[in-house]
Amino acid sequence: MTIKKPCVLVIHGPNLNLLGKREPNIYGKLTLDEINANILDKANKLGIIVDFIQSNHEGSIVDALQEAEGQYKGIIINAAAFTHYSIAIRDAIAAITVPAIEVHLSNIYKRESFRHHSIISSVVYGQISGFGGSSYLLALEAVADIISNES
Amino acid sequence: MTIKKPCVLVIHGPNLNLLGKREPNIYGKLTLDEINANILDKANKLGIIVDFIQSNHEGSIVDALQEAEGQYKGIIINAAAFTHYSIAIRDAIAAITVPAIEVHLSNIYKRESFRHHSIISSVVYGQISGFGGSSYLLALEAVADIISNES
Amino acid sequence: MTIKKPCVLVIHGPNLNLLGKREPNIYGKLTLDEINANILDKANKLGIIVDFIQSNHEGSIVDALQEAEGQYKGIIINAAAFTHYSIAIRDAIAAITVPAIEVHLSNIYKRESFRHHSIISSVVYGQISGFGGSSYLLALEAVADIISNES
Amino acid sequence: MTIKKPCVLVIHGPNLNLLGKREPNIYGKLTLDEINANILDKANKLGIIVDFIQSNHEGSIVDALQEAEGQYKGIIINAAAFTHYSIAIRDAIAAITVPAIEVHLSNIYKRESFRHHSIISSVVYGQISGFGGSSYLLALEAVADIISNES
Amino acid sequence: MTIKKPCVLVIHGPNLNLLGKREPNIYGKLTLDEINANILDKANKLGIIVDFIQSNHEGSIVDALQEAEGQYKGIIINAAAFTHYSIAIRDAIAAITVPAIEVHLSNIYKRESFRHHSIISSVVYGQISGFGGSSYLLALEAVADIISNES
Amino acid sequence: MTIKKPCVLVIHGPNLNLLGKREPNIYGKLTLDEINANILDKANKLGIIVDFIQSNHEGSIVDALQEAEGQYKGIIINAAAFTHYSIAIRDAIAAITVPAIEVHLSNIYKRESFRHHSIISSVVYGQISGFGGSSYLLALEAVADIISNES
Amino acid sequence: MTIKKPCVLVIHGPNLNLLGKREPNIYGKLTLDEINANILDKANKLGIIVDFIQSNHEGSIVDALQEAEGQYKGIIINAAAFTHYSIAIRDAIAAITVPAIEVHLSNIYKRESFRHHSIISSVVYGQISGFGGSSYLLALEAVADIISNES
Amino acid sequence: MTIKKPCVLVIHGPNLNLLGKREPNIYGKLTLDEINANILDKANKLGIIVDFIQSNHEGSIVDALQEAEGQYKGIIINAAAFTHYSIAIRDAIAAITVPAIEVHLSNIYKRESFRHHSIISSVVYGQISGFGGSSYLLALEAVADIISNES
Amino acid sequence: MTIKKPCVLVIHGPNLNLLGKREPNIYGKLTLDEINANILDKANKLGIIVDFIQSNHEGSIVDALQEAEGQYKGIIINAAAFTHYSIAIRDAIAAITVPAIEVHLSNIYKRESFRHHSIISSVVYGQISGFGGSSYLLALEAVADIISNES
Amino acid sequence: MTIKKPCVLVIHGPNLNLLGKREPNIYGKLTLDEINANILDKANKLGIIVDFIQSNHEGSIVDALQEAEGQYKGIIINAAAFTHYSIAIRDAIAAITVPAIEVHLSNIYKRESFRHHSIISSVVYGQISGFGGSSYLLALEAVADIISNES
Amino acid sequence: MTIKKPCVLVIHGPNLNLLGKREPNIYGKLTLDEINANILDKANKLGIIVDFIQSNHEGSIVDALQEAEGQYKGIIINAAAFTHYSIAIRDAIAAITVPAIEVHLSNIYKRESFRHHSIISSVVYGQISGFGGSSYLLALEAVADIISNES
Amino acid sequence: MTIKKPCVLVIHGPNLNLLGKREPNIYGKLTLDEINANILDKANKLGIIVDFIQSNHEGSIVDALQEAEGQYKGIIINAAAFTHYSIAIRDAIAAITVPAIEVHLSNIYKRESFRHHSIISSVVYGQISGFGGSSYLLALEAVADIISNES
């Protein structure tokens, strides 16, 4: 008898596809592909299957969140710019029952004041920010922990 | 000689496709399909043809509003999360001459404070909120009234 | 055996007795008597008995709301200026169990900013605004709907 | 042939009946009767008939303003405390066509900050404040001037 | 030789006549009559005569405050909703020389934010809030203390 | 023996030299010369000597206010744009002992919100606004009254 | 068989040890020792044992609150300056089950605006302020009342 | 040997496709096609190749900005409604190295207050607004200037 | 027959005489004389006569604006520090009929937040900012365009 | 040759000693000792030595932070109530070179609004919140990662 | 060989010429001449040459600051009313390289709230306020210290 | 007969013990010991005895301020982080009669905005900030001046 590995969805918000090229002093030198590779690596060790989405379109992220229901055991979301104004994404996270973890590469409290407020913080499970690409890895560990507690 | 029945466009904003499943204590138990069926029912009685759009994409709602010009006699819009920040939707409503009515299922003033402000309120014809699925039916009646006054 | 028709109380706030004379570009040309006649007309069709109150005195409106308990199945209230500051009226609405619907003739969001905030919105059942005298008629329909759902 | 003298209504708001007794360091030593006597004196010289109202009831002042329409050529109003929150009085002033002049005994800008904002200022003809009982006399002169310009 | 007992006026603001019926989870189960009976009881023990007023009309409370001058040695006022906006009541309290004590049944700081600010606090002698009907009894004791210190 | 007539200084702030030409819908059709002629006329009747200053330079108005000390019995100042930000003019008014009256041609509360706040209001004797050129004449009368009370 | 008397802890916040010496026009002439003596007096009459703490150290007050759990039936706290910013004290009050009553000697609403907000108000049982040293005595009575209702 | 002409991307935001039809009193009578024709004309004179994008979809504009990197020497962007809230567009402009110029047809400071703030202003090279269709032409000239300075 | 060339007034506000010396990292290395020479150059090409004013005195700029009426076909104004608080300059621009264009050397939205708000923006024809000395040249072109459209 | 294990300091702020007893619906059922045991467990696996401090005294936490310099390779701090107002703790974190990670048991964005702002966020390395006791474990992992990257 | 003594410029802002006469309870009894004499006295002892300027004209102070460049080793400025709004003076201080010290006679934090904010504070070297005429003397000493450190 | 030298207490707030090590670009390179040595030096010259306290504990500073009464002729306090939130320290300064001078090493107006507001400014004698270690020396001179004026 085989036990199905739990699936986790990683959502990268707008402009994160430029990682490594865009303002590396803020966002680090890793490209999105390299970050994703690190995530896969970690996921392997944790026995988790990971899918990735990157989109510059708010609506596509809302769609993805809705479709995650029943498909995934956890969501890791770096909503990037949408963090600060997309009530649509907030409502989608609140509408589904999959636990979502908010991550940020940079410490958003060291940046422009309009980045200090997250519209999605009050509907996610928890937040991890400031650890560069490792923010995702810590979130993956947190998800693994949540999944193992639930099962 | 046949008189053409007036057409009305009903626009459902982001996450409304989850109705009935999402937080039923706030939004009620009716699914979007059931609400639409009720609207069609009422429309039949009022001699009105109704088309429906639901989208999680702000741009698609802007497109739909623009294309409504000349096609519809009235618009009923529940912009959901977009109500509170989409100036693009506001501008589209202001740019067309079709009267639009803003509806909400819940009484938005009983909810989080960021939902108390509607960016589209000052460009719509009127607002109806708090009556659950019936908010749409009352809006349809209002539209019928506006159309009959114009003709 | 006769079934008693349900009674609904319509409350008109301060200065609404001037309707038709006062700033008709904002409030329309209908006098309060004409609006009340239209309401009675609609009430007849819906099998509802309607009583009317108009007062420029906040305290009298609070009294009327208190006395409505047990006497009426629904309240339609256009609190006019009191909408924006009368916590006494708000508390009276909250204190009774009769559902109250807030109506406004004009779209208050197209007017002075101090009219954008309603102190009673969070304690009423729902809001209807912007449809001129028809705001009351739609509210009556909504009340009829609420009553029929309850019985 | 006799020419009818123009009539002016002077409205004293809440607690002004205590003038002379209440905080004389702020409001001066004149009683309301003495102020009214001075107003009558001045009115005689200007050929104006003056009526007086004092009320602690917002609704009564709204009633008086409404009834002034067609009866008076001008209104002088010291709304006292109501100056700062009575939108009902504001709406009544805006609803009638009689020009109203806002007066204050004290310079309200030297007092508590909540007295710095007048809700009626934007609907009155002009403001006169800070001259004690003479504020009314100056207002009477201003009204006489407005009346003579209109005829 | 008989010594006249001191008189104290207890003022109950709008909607307090509904006590015991209205939202008992907030305001407790005691009716206003039961609270008044408890106050009389306590007054008897303290050798104080108590009169009561309850009104939903701001103007009537202003009238009562003005008339208290010279008649009462102390005032206990639960201005209820008026606490938060009636500058007229505030001015009346400030205008008379009878010490007034502000009471509230509930701890207003545990409720809606618009109830956190009292417009009358800065002109009363002291505040007592949160002890249910006992708030009045403690206030009576405080008044007795003030009276005995003065005589 | 001759009694010296009291002198009053009238200060016109920036851009008032354009009166009659500049935005007549706001400021009226009278030129500054015509207004000054009316003031002189009124002054003659009141037995007052009037001097005039108009300047677009804040510093010149401060100088004039300082030099008024000991020379004038009263000051009438329409600080125009400076009303809203010149703390230097405010300090000059506060520093001298000559009573100053603030006048405005238009009702500033009907205009842009940045014109609703006057930085000098709390240091002047009183305010008169909204009566067009007559604002100055009423102020002159007020000054005459103050002077006669002092002597 | 002896019944153990209930114990109440009275906490005096920073600078209250200076009472009687510090700004007596605000805080009165009684020293802290005299106030405590009065409290003991009253406690004796009520059959209550009282302990006292005064500290200028926020942490010591937090410690005391924590240790009160299980030892005391009620707490009377005048947090003085800490009232306005010590979230640590607030959290301690919220964390324990002993009812706490907030007292102030002066009417804090007559003082600087930063003293108008209490960070602990929403977690205490009730507030008593403005009665000088008697604020504590009234609080003691309130505590006695709460204890007798519980037992 | 031929020198490649520099390419410039012109981005038109939401609802600009309605130009000429939508509120011509605000936006002028020129259609978007006519404006684009004028831009091409000017571009020809300046030896610049211009591409155009119009979209009602925020994500599409973000995509276009990202793809402009390496393809264009300059960007002219009228983000329309997105100007005021799209942090995603802001981040895209900041992420690429192509200089972007913000243009507006109307003087946005003469319009609703929510249009006074641009979220992209601090990341663009410069702003040009208020000149109708000519705003684009001036921007093109500015771009030509920047390009010639760089080469 | 000769056609008179149109005249344009260029106004440089306070501290702009220090250009080239003052904080060149913000304002560039060009001196004011060099910028003026470039403007003259461009004016020659456009067939426009240009006059220049630089002043550190607000009043002198108001005077210059007033005197421009009838003398100039357009005004280019860099009000520098006055941009942010001089209502007097704003009123002067509004009072005259000559179109004025607001220019800034730097992108003011990249600087201190108090520089983000321009008090004159809502009364000028348009704004151009961020292009260094070229901001003036673009403004000159815009003026030429406005003049040619008017004639 | 032995390699010295890296040391990490875990700082628990005020009232965290009550964990497990205090409001378990917010903070969970684990006691502080149990959490510390879990941390030690994890530390063992990561080859890290951990020391613990818990204090209700702000000054003691500042002292501990200062003394950590040179003694520890990383700090994990749950400043609890101090998170929101202790600039002294913020300055201590900024003054030392040891990287500090901010953790919270609960998702502070789901709680009272005064808990949404952290005064220390902009000086720590990163934040982890909302995962209950696991927040500390994730932080420990993050610290281990930082240490291994540095060496 | 003689060493040239360093020169320092002392700038007195608007209304300071009235010192000793104007509100002596706030500004003290010393006249400006007496203060200047004290400054000269101190300067003599420190081997410094001092020049003085007093002006009610903002522009003149800007001019003086600009001309100080290269002439003076230090500036002591009491900008008086201009402290709170003159961005022109702020820009002038920032534009020159001479260190400027901000002084105030009174403790501005004990006065009206609009005096609590200084627009020049962030560009001066340091501030000294509250010591009456001695504020200048301390500033002179500070300047002497700065000069001696530089040479 | 010997005259006792006056004593002055110098209070250093939290983290100032790290001076010279902590962020020397902001606070300078001098250690606290070196600064104290300089103060002693200066005190010797002025004939003043100086005592020093440094504490990271708010309560200890309150204690020290209270104990200063009667022991010291003046206090020099750099409250560091406590400057911005410790109402307890503010109240202690207000409660004692010893004059206190607020000093800061850095110009706090060039730093984070939360450092721009001092809660103690309105109760100290004067402020000196921005001169590094010399701020203390200037304050000592100021104290010497105050003491000599008093005796």
In this predicted model, what pLDDT tens digit does every residue of E88-122 receive, in sequence order? 999 999 999 999 999 999 888 888 888 888 999 99
pLDDT of residue C90: 97
- pLDDT 10s digits, A78-96: 999 999 999 999 999 999 9
The per-residue pLDDT for D2 is 62
C23: nearest CA partner in chain D: D95
Residue I71 has pLDDT above 80, yes or no: yes
J contact chains, 3+ CB pairs < 8 A: A, G, L
CB burial string J16-50: b at 16+ within 10 A, e below? bbbbebbeeeebbebebeebbebbeebbeebebeb
The region, left, alpha or beta by phi > 0 then psi within -120 to 50, assigned to residue I57 is: beta
Looking at the DSSP bridge assignments, the partners of residue C67 are none
The share of chain C scoring above pLDDT 90, in percent, equals 79
Q: Write the pLDDT tens digit of every residue in K85-139.
A: 999 999 999 999 999 999 999 888 888 888 888 999 999 999 999 999 999 999 9
Quick one: fold of D7-150?
Rossmann fold (3.40.50)
Residue K86: the pLDDT is 97
DSSP for chain D reads: -PPPPPEEEEEE-TTGGGTTTS-HHHH-S--HHHHHHHHHHHHHHHT-EEEEEE-S-HHHHHHHHHHHTTT-SEEEEE-GGGGGT-HHHHHHHHHS-S-EEEEESS-GGGS-GGGS--SSGGGSSEEEESSTTHHHHHHHHHHHHHHHHH-
Whether E60 and chain C come into contact, CB under 8 Å, resolves to: yes
Identify which of D54, D52, D24, D19 has the alpha carbon closest to the alpha carbon of residue D34. D19
Apex G91 CA angle, G90 and G97, nearest 5: 100
Domain positions in chain I: 7-150
Range name among H42-56, I14-28, J86-100 with the lowest pLDDT average? I14-28
Instruction: Map B57-113 to HEC letters.
Output: CHHHHHHHHHHHCCCCCEEEEECHHHHHCCHHHHHHHHHCCCCEEEEECCCHHHCCH
pLDDT category of residue H31 using cuts at 50, 70 and 90: very high
Q: Is J57 on the interface with G (CB under 8 A)?
A: yes
CA E107, CA F137: separation in Å to the nearest integer? 54
Average pLDDT of chain F, as a whole number = 93
Longest dimension (CA), chain I: 53
**Is H136 an active-site residue?**
no
Q: What pLDDT shows up at residue C31?
A: 94
Low-confidence ranges of chain D (pLDDT < 50): none
Candidate list K12, K57, K84, K104, residue with the active-site label: K104
pLDDT in tens, F32-42: 999 999 999 99
Strands J126-129 and A126-129: antiparallel
How far apart CA L105 and CA L79 sit, in angstroms, is 11
pLDDT given for residue K96 in this prediction = 95
Tokens of I102: 């607001």
Label residue F151 by pLDDT band (50, 70, 90).
low
List the catalytic residue out of K27, K109, K116, K125.
Answer: K27
**Is I89 an interface residue toward H (CB < 8 Å)?**
no
Q: Quick one: average pLDDT of E74-92?
A: 97
Among D22, D19, D34, D25, CA closest to D78: D19
Q: Is I27 a catalytic residue?
A: yes
Name the residue facing C56 among D85, D88, D90 (closest C-beta).
D88
The answer to whether A and G touch (≥3 CB pairs < 8 Å) is: no
Residue A151 confidence class, pLDDT cut points 50, 70, 90: low
pLDDT digits 0-9 by tens, L1-16: 566 899 999 999 999 9
CA distance A53 to chain H (A): 14
Instruction: Look up the pTM and report it.
Output: 0.94
Residue of H nearest to I116 (CA): H117
DSSP type of residue F109? G
Which tens digits make up the pLDDT trace of L66-79? 999 999 999 999 99
Which residue from C minimizes the CA distance to E27?
C95
pLDDT in the model for residue A24: 77
Q: Is residue H24 predicted with pLDDT exceeding 70?
A: yes
Q: What is the mean pLDDT of residues B27-44?
A: 93
Q: Which pLDDT tens digit goes with each residue over I81-134? A: 999 999 999 999 999 999 999 999 988 888 888 888 899 999 999 999 999 999
The pLDDT of residue J151 is above 70: no
For residue range L89-125, list pLDDT tens digits in order: 999 999 999 999 999 998 888 888 888 889 999 999 9
Is pLDDT at J32 greater than 60 in this prediction?
A: yes
Residue to substitute from C11, C56, C57, C62, interface E, most E β-carbons within 10 A: C62
Smallest Cβ–Cβ distance between L84 and the set J63, J66, J87 belongs to J87
